[in-house]
Structure 1
């Protein structure tokens, strides 16, 4: 199975999350391609079986330019038959806006016809050991569902 991971990372936290998932999935036998959102076209997801987006939410949830551009590209795609998952980081001091972009991307994947394979994983700031264990569990779950 082909997995496409696209990540957006301002501080490196979300890139770390993407790298952990990528390594886990490769170890489970998936073919994984990973790239930074700034250098990726949303149509790259059309060549994948499983679409993964890892993003941060900055401040009060307004998307940065590169996130907004990718979001707009994604909105125009038909991802029927694709599966997806979204994860990302945020800061709980922003209360109502905590990880808002993670949920914005979840909604757009659903609107594009993709099937959600696991609920979004949200992480406060940098992933700690518990968060890393959750990423590992997601990879295990995907391996069970799709690699038999």
Structure 2
């Protein structure tokens, strides 16, 4: 089984989220790669080579997706990712209230347009993963694996 984790970060918090997900994949025997989202074209993702895609975005300026992930985000709409399981999780700051980590919701909606299969509900982490958030991210990752194996 192969997974790819695409992340965007300014503060390093989202890289911490991505690392928890990656560590969990590795502990479950999944081959995983970690990639900066701005270096990835969704049109190049193939179900022949990838079973699971995870996007780890931060939320910027009143609920927008990160600038460095805009190309990926926009291209998802016209990309066929049938046969691939996806998940979206990331950090935010609950100081922003209703805009807290909404980039996760926006990415999930874009993935729905791609034909990919949702493997787990996204995990919204306040700032950096604490013990509770780490456990949620581990459960999230294991649910993605279980979806592929189902």
Q: TM-score, normalised by structure 2?
A: 0.89
The runs of 4+ residues in structure 1 deviating greater than 6 Å are: none
- Match of residue 18 from structure 1: 18
> Conserved in 1, the CA contact under 8 Å of 2:122 and 2:140?
no
Aligned with residue 89 of structure 1, among 88, 91, 96:
91
Instruction: Note the residue ranges of structure 1 that are not aligned, 5 or more in a row.
Output: none
Aligned residues: 148
Quote the RMSD (CA, aligned, Å): 1.7
The alpha carbon displacement at 1:147 in A equals 5.4
Instruction: Note the residue ranges of structure 2 that are not aligned, 5 or more in a row.
Output: none
The alpha carbon displacement at 1:13 in A equals 0.7
Q: TM-score, normalised by structure 1?
A: 0.90
- State the distance in 2 between where 1:86 and 1:24 align: 15
The 1:144–1:82 alpha-carbon spacing in structure 2 relative to 1, beyond 3 Å, is closer
> Conserved in 2, the CA contact under 8 Å of 1:29 and 1:147?
no
Question: Any idea what SS the aligned residue of 2:97 has?
Answer: helix
- Match of residue 36 from structure 1: 36
